[in-house]
Amino acid sequence: MGWKLTGDQNNEVGRAALARVGLAGQGAESEVLAEMLDHQGIVYDRVTPESKSRYPVILTPARSGGRDEIRTLLAHGGSEIAGTEVVELGRVQKLLSGVDETPSDEFTAFVNEQEEALLLKIRAVLAEQGLPLEQKWFWPGFAKAACILTHDLDWLVYSPYHKVVLRSPGGLARQPALLYKRVVSRVKFGWNVPETISAETSAGFKSSFFVKTKYERAEQPRLAETVRLLKNSGADVGLHAARASYRKEESLRQEMSEFNEMFGHSPNGVRQHILKFEVPKTWRIQASCGLEFDATFSHTDHFGFRAGVCLPYRPLAGGERLPITELPTSFMDWTYLHRRYDRREVAATLKKVTDTVERHHGVLVVNFHNTYLDRNVFPDIWDDYLGLLEYLKSEKYWVATASECVAWWIRRNLARPTPEGGRVAKVTTSDIPLLVHEGPGLTEPPRVM
C-alpha cells in the first residue's frame, strides 16, 4: 500500500487507467465538485445515463435516492459518493463565490481541507474495488509548493519623510541619514525596480509587476525607464487597474488599451488598485475583457486566504465557474506596515501562511511594493524579502510568474492520463507529474531533492 509516481509517465501502474471518476449532475453544486476535483488533480468525466464507460466511482452532489439514471451508471459494479455526505458543499460554494467571509486573518484553507476529505473518500471506495487513484501532481517536478512574487507599482517616487516611514520601526531615527543622502548624495528614493530585479535574478527567480497606466507628472521620467527595464528583463507585467474599472467595463478596457500602448501587448492579468472589488461583478468584467487571471481578491488589512483556498481557482457566479483564474494573494507588506509589526511578528505571520501553503501543496502569492523594497528607507522590509527568497530556494518551491503559474494550472487541468498498452498510465501532456495512490490511506509523495 502507498504511492507510485511516474516521472516519465511510462511506469506500470496496474489498472490505474481504469479508475475513472464519473461526475453526475448539473448546476452550481456539480460545478463546485468539478472545481474541487480539478484542484486535487483527479481526472473525471461528466457522465449522463447514456454514458457507456464503466465508472467505479460516480460522484453526485447529493444522494441520488436510487434514481434510474444513477442506477444505470452504477450497473457495472460502481459506487456512488454523495458530495454533501463528505464535504460541506454549501460553504465551499459560498467561499469560491466570494460571499462567505468575515474580514479577519485566515490562516487555514477550509476549501482545500474539504477537497482532501473528498479525495480520501474516493480513494477508499476505489481501494475497495482493488483500484488505485491517479492524481496529477500540483506543480512541476513534484515541487511541494509554488510561489508567485508580485510587486504593485503604486508610485515611482516616494518621500523618505512619509508618515509610513516615520511610524515604522526605527523610522524616526533614520531621518538624519535619509536627509543627508537626499540632499548631499542626491539619492532618489521610491523606485527600486532595478534593485528588486537584481535581487530576484541573483536568486534565480522572476516576478510579476503590476503597473498603472497613469502616474503623476513628476513620475513620468521614471515611467519610461520602468517600461524599458521591465521589457528588457523579461519580467512578467500585469495591469494595476487604478480607476473605476473594478465596476465599469469601459474603464478597464481603456486601461488595457493604454497598457498595450506602453508595452506593445495586452496584459494577461490584473490586480485592482487598493484591492477594490465587487463580487461577482469585477470577475465578470475582467473575464469579459479577455483577462486570464486576477490577483485582487484578498484583504488590505488582513493576512491569509480570503476564499479559504490556497490554490489557483475559478470563481463561481450564477451557478457557473467563470472563465478567469484567481490567484489567492495571502501576504502583503502594506498590511504589516499598517499594523506596525516588528520583524518577529512578520516572521511569525509569514510562517503561518507558508505552513498552510505547504500543508496543502498550494501557491504562496506575496505582494511587496517597490516603494517599500528600499534598503535605505525600509531596511527591515528589504531584509524580510531577501530572507523570503532564500527560504524559497532552500525549500525548493517552484517559483513562477503569475502568467507562468496560470498557464501551468490550465494545462494541468486539461491533461488526462490515458491507457497505453493496456496497463500503463501515460499523461497526455508529458511534463505533468502523475501520482498513483494504492490503498485507502493518504500518504505523502516523495520530496524532490
List of domains in the chain: 20-131 (3.40.50), 144-396 (3.20.20.370)
Span 35-47, pLDDT tens digits? 999 999 999 999 8
**Nearest by Cα to 82 from 17, 46, 29:** 29
Q: List, in sequence order, every residue forming a beta bridge with 22; answer none if it has no partner.
A: 45, 58
Find out whether 294 and 306 touch, Cβ atoms under 8 Å: no
Find out whether 131 and 56 touch, Cβ atoms under 8 Å: yes
273's CB contacts (< 8 A; 6+ apart) are: 152, 154, 212, 240, 241, 242, 243
What is residue 19's predicted lDDT score, i.e. its pLDDT?
60
Find out whether 323 and 37 touch, Cβ atoms under 8 Å: no
What is residue 53's predicted lDDT score, i.e. its pLDDT?
78
Pairing of strands 133-136, 208-211: unpaired
Percent of the chain with pLDDT over 90: 69
pLDDT for 362 beyond 90: yes
What's the whole-number mean pLDDT along residues 163-191?
Answer: 70
Find the range with the poorest average confidence among 6-15, 94-103, 305-314.
6-15
Q: What predicted TM-score, i.e. pTM, was given to this entire model?
A: 0.91
3-state secondary structure of 137: coil
What is residue 369's predicted lDDT score, i.e. its pLDDT?
97
**pLDDT classification of 357: cutoffs 50, 70, 90:** very high
pLDDT for 431 beyond 50: yes
**pLDDT classification of 77: cutoffs 50, 70, 90:** low
What is residue 425's predicted lDDT score, i.e. its pLDDT?
47
Runs of H (alpha helix) within 100-219: 110-128, 163-167, 175-183, 193-203
Q: What single-letter DSSP state applies at residue 422?
A: T
Report how far Cα 321 is from the mean position of its chain's Cα atoms.
Answer: 16
Q: Show the CA angle centred on residue 302, arms to residues 107 and 369, nearest 5°.
A: 110
Span 104-117, pLDDT tens digits? 999 999 999 999 99
Report how far Cα 92 is from the mean position of its chain's Cα atoms.
Answer: 17
Mean pLDDT for the chain overall: 88
Find the range with the poorest average confidence among 53-62, 207-216, 344-353.
53-62
What's the whole-number mean pLDDT along residues 22-30?
Answer: 92
Pairing of strands 57-60, 133-136: unpaired
What is residue 3's predicted lDDT score, i.e. its pLDDT?
43
Span 57-68, pLDDT tens digits? 999 999 876 676
What's the whole-number mean pLDDT along residues 156-172?
Answer: 75
Q: HSE, CB side, 13 Å, CA atoms: give it for residue 60.
A: 20
The 8 Å CB, 24+ separation contacts for 345-353 are 346/380, 346/384, 347/384, 349/303, 350/384, 350/388, 352/107, 352/303, 352/304, 353/107, 353/303, 353/304
What's the whole-number mean pLDDT along residues 169-173?
Answer: 71
What is residue 51's predicted lDDT score, i.e. its pLDDT?
78
